[in-house]
């Protein structure tokens, strides 16, 4: 990953060393940056294997939260899901090389939809863990959409972009929303597995 020098960060953001150190420490705790003795901080690297691991963990937690939300979600939960779906339907479509501002608008709407969908659950800890995993997924998604060659394999990058384009479409999210609001727990979880699991490329298990 790219090095993060204190002087460059101070010049860019106008903060002193203490707040920068605190911020970098928090980012390290979220695995967004790494540090080495006498070498400073670097942006965390990216690999297909790590993305698989992140998505596997996300699938376990998000599926459990979705089941709980379907079982106990109230009217406010349903209303939140509908509003988040409407916002996502109006967000820019995901395209490689799209303007960063457009991507950020999509990213905000997309995460809000998924978090609203599981927001009926009463498990605060699982929701917090899920938000951490979503942050990692967003890191990879941002790299794949806004940059090229980030996984050091053009086949993997191209295939992942095609999958992201397909699964980010509103149609799949509509099916997921309908199943959840219809209280069809098993079907909703099946759709979630398709939505998250399709990120994996079964013919490239050892991609870098």
Helices (H) and strands (E) in the chain, counts: 9, 3
Q: Show the domains of the chain with their CATH numbers.
A: 3-43 (no CATH), 48-197 (1.20.120.530)
User: What residues pair up with 35 in beta bridges, in sequence order?
Assistant: 41
The pLDDT score that the predictor gives to residue 153 is 56
**pTM (global) more than 0.85:** no
pLDDT in tens, 126-138: 999 999 999 988 8
The pLDDT score that the predictor gives to residue 20 is 67
pLDDT in tens, 104-121: 999 999 999 999 999 999
Q: 31-53 burial, b if ≥16 CB within 10 A, otherwise e? A: eebbeeeeeebeebebbbeebee
The pLDDT score that the predictor gives to residue 64 is 97
Mean pLDDT of the chain: 81
Give every strand in the sheet of 3-4, ordered side by side.
Answer: 3-4, 40-43, 33-36
pLDDT in tens, 29-80: 556 656 655 566 666 667 778 888 898 999 999 999 999 999 999 999 999 9
* Residue 43 phi, psi dihedral angles, 5° rounding: -65, 135
- Residue whose entry in the numeric block shows the structure tokens 């379907």: 70
Contact between 189 and 63 under an 8 Å Cβ cutoff? The reply is yes
Contact between 175 and 113 under an 8 Å Cβ cutoff? The reply is no
């Amino acid at each position: 990953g790219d090095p993060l020098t204190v002087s460059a960060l101070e010049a860019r953001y106008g903060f002193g060393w203490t707040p920068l150190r605190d911020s970098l420490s928090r980012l390290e705790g979220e695995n967004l940056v790494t540090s080495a003795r006498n070498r400073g901080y670097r942006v965390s690297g990216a690999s297909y294997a790590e993305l698989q691991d992140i998505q596997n963990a996300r699938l376990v937690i998000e599926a459990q939260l979705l089941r709980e939300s379907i079982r106990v979600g109230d009217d406010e939960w349903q209303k939140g899901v509908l509003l988040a779906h409407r916002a996502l339907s109006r967000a820019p479509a995901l395209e490689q090389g799209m303007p960063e501002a457009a991507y950020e608008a999509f990213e905000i709407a997309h995460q809000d939809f998924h978090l609203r969908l599981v927001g009926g659950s009463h498990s605060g800890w699982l929701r917090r863990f899920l938000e951490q995993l979503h942050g990692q997924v967003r890191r990879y998604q941002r790299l794949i959409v806004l940059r090229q060659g980030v996984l050091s394999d053009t086949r993997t990058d191209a295939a992942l972009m095609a999958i992201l384009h397909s699964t980010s479409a509103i149609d799949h999210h509509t099916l997921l929303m309908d199943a959840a609001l219809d209280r069809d727990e098993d079907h909703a979880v099946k759709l979630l597995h398709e939505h998250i699991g399709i990120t994996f490329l079964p013919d490239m298990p050892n991609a870098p």
